[in-house]
Amino acid sequence: MARRNIGGAEGHRIKKEAEKQANLKRKENTRDERKMLIIACEDSVSAPLYFRAIFSDLKRNHAISAASLVIAKHKRSNPTGVLQDLLNHPNYQDFDHQWIVIDRDEERTQKVNNNSQSGHSLENFNQAISNAIRKGIKFAYSNPCFEIWYLLHFEYTSAAIDRKQLVTQLEHGYQYAKNKLFTKVLDQELQDKAIENSERLIQSWIDINGTTNPAKDNPSTTVHDLVKLLNTFAN
């Protein structure tokens, strides 16, 4: 059959339609490759190791592009400083989701790593939350520290605990090591349990006004909110 010779107005229309479809495809690809989430973490080891492992799994399964999930460069170790680390990241506004991961970590006077004081002030913690809300940045907090999220993978607890006790319990009961990836908590069933336990804890702290007090609610964590968001990227 002879090939139809398309020219004139009809040819121009077809060409414009093809260009339109190509432009739409380019926009879709750009959206797929757009950086989706950036986080800044208070500590330089435990939380970053954990989130990088989740990021790697998403990338390995082609759920996201290589640049979709980013951890801001760590320079500061108090809550307001963590927020500043995020704000200092180039073009942080371009990310769909912006989060800081912070600890209550009350000030302690005993000597830790040759420093006479560790932890940070109540004012610093509350200011970081206030500033994050004002700037439209999400926050995941832990009281007393990020390791409470790990413990909730294995057991529910509502008893007040400090950082040292918490880390010791994880080390002795679940072979946790501060400077290594805690691979046990990457199990999906354990993660589901941690989310359930975290939400249960938060519910237990809600007062008659329907609010919680992150600075005083020990133990508690909202890391599960960030993890649940990351889980949606796999769908």
pLDDT of 227 > 60? The answer is yes
Helix H, strand E, coil C: the string for the chain is CCCCCCCHHHHHHHHHHHHHHHHHHHHHHHHHHCCCEEEEECCCCHHHHHHHHHHHHHHHCCCCCCCCEEECCCCCCCHHHHHHHHHCCCCHHHCCEEEEEEECCECECCCECCECCECECHHHHHHHHHHHHHHCCEEEEEECCCHHHHHCCCCCCCCCCCHHHHHHHHHHHHCCCCCCCCHHHHCHHHHHHHHHHHHHHHHHHCCCCCCCCCCCCCCEECHHHHHHHHHHCCC
pLDDT at 23 over 60: no
The predicted-structure confidence for 80-112, as pLDDT tens digits, reads as follows: 999 999 999 999 999 999 999 999 998 775 554
Model confidence over 185-221: pLDDT tens digits? 999 999 999 999 999 999 999 999 999 999 999 999 9
User: Which of 203, 200, 199 is CA-nearest to residue 224?
Assistant: 199
The whole-angstrom separation of Cα 145 and Cα 101 is 10
In the predicted model, is pLDDT for residue 70 greater than 90? yes
CA distance 163 to 152: 14
Is a pLDDT exceeding 80 seen at residue 44? Answer: yes
| pLDDT of residue 20 exceeding 70 | no
Domain spans, the chain: 34-232
What is the pTM for the complete model shown? 0.83
Does residue 60 carry a pLDDT above 60?
Answer: yes
Burial 170-196 (b: 16+ CB within 10 A, else e): beeeeebeeeeebeebeeeeebebbbe
Do residues 48 and 3 touch, judged by C-beta distance below 8 A? no
Report angle CA 197, 185, 67 to the nearest 5 degrees.
110
